[in-house]
Amino acid sequence: MAKKNEPIVGKRKESVAKAFIKKGNGVVKINNILLDKMKPEMIRLMIEEPLIIAGDLSKKVNINVKVEGGGIIGQAEAVRQSIARGLIDFGGKKYKQIFESYDRHLLVNDPRRTEPHKPSRSSAGPRRHKQRSKR
C-alpha cells in the first residue's frame, strides 16, 4: 500500500504516469484535463477501462494523473496502469483479481524496449546490413 501523498506509478515504453488518488466524487484529470474532454475518443476509452471494471469504487475517488514521455498510446497505457494500481491500493485486494482476469498489463509493466543501434551503421538500425549483389 502506497504511503500518503505518494504517487502510484504506471509505465509503458518511455512513458511514465503518476496517479494521485484520494476520496472524492469520481473526478478524473490527466495533466489537469478532465477525462471527459480527452481526444481522441479511442485513447479516452482505453483510459476508462479500469474505471469501468472497478464499478462503484471509481465514483468514490478523485484521480489526478501526471504523465510525461513517449507517444500518445504509450502515455494512455501508462495512465490506465497507474489508475488500476491506485484503485487496488485504495479499494483492496479483491480488485487485483478482477483486473488480472481482465488484462494482466493493467498491473504489470511491459519489459520490452527497443534494441540499441550497433556501431558503424548506427543510423540505419540495429540489424541492418549493407545490401550485397550476388553477381
Sequence spans of domains, the chain: 8-106
DSSP 22-84: EESSS-EEETTEEGGG-SSHHHHHHHHHHHHHHGGGGGSEEEEEEEESS-HHHHHHHHHHHHH
Q: What pLDDT, on the 0 to 100 scale, is given for residue 131?
A: 81
Confirm if 9 and 108 have CB atoms less than 8 A apart: no
Query: At residue 47, does pLDDT exceed 90?
Result: yes
Q: How far is CA 84 from CA 56, 87, 89, in A?
A: 14, 5, 9
Q: Answer yes or no: CATH 3.90.1010.10 is held by domain 8-106.
A: no
Predicted structure pTM score: 0.85
Which pLDDT belongs to residue 1? 59
Q: What confidence category does residue 130 fall into, taking pLDDT thresholds of 50, 70 and 90?
A: confident
